[in-house]
Copies of this chain bind each other. A is one copy, B any other.
């Protein structure tokens, strides 16, 4: 007889309970191309649970970031953006100053040199943020 799958909680945080809304928020982020603002996540989540409130979206995003399912990054305009962090590992962003698109990229050498730079200044490295601004291939062509 088929037995119910063990309930997996979308949040691994201590004391966290399972919640349909948090699942919806994670699904909204995970099934998109990423780089959504909280408001955009809300719009997507409402397609799954029409009544979900914006406060819950913020709370869920914070929780999901805390347990590593989602990662946040804050562009210069100060509006946080979210993307699924499960399988996709760390990456940096090339940000187009014309159309605002994001291109993801990693350069292992840059990553390594950052460690060296931190060490050189006695820093115990915990993380970093690298954003490269410019015109994406598409926008550069139009100019």
Residues of A that sit less than 8 Å from B by CB: 74, 76, 78, 94, 96-97, 103, 105, 107, 109-110, 113-114, 116-118, 120-137, 140
**A78-B74, A123-B140 in contact; A117/B134 too (CB < 8 A)?**
no
Give the copy number.
2
B113 engages A135 (CB within 8 Å): no
Beyond A78-B78, A103-B121, A122-B136, 14 additional contacts (C-beta under 8 Å) are: A76-B129, A94-B117, A96-B123, A107-B116, A109-B113, A110-B113, A121-B136, A123-B137, A127-B134, A128-B130, A128-B132, A129-B129, A129-B131, A129-B133
Residues on the B chain within 8 Å of A123, using CB: 94, 96, 103, 132, 134-137, 140
Q: Nearest 5 CB-CB pairs, A to B?
A: A122-B137, A124-B135, A126-B134, A125-B134, A123-B134
Bound complex: CA of A97 vs CA of B125, how far in Å?
10
Closest B residue by C-beta to A92? B117
A124 lies within 8 A of B110 (CB): no
Min distance, Cβ A92 to any Cβ of chain B, angstroms: 8
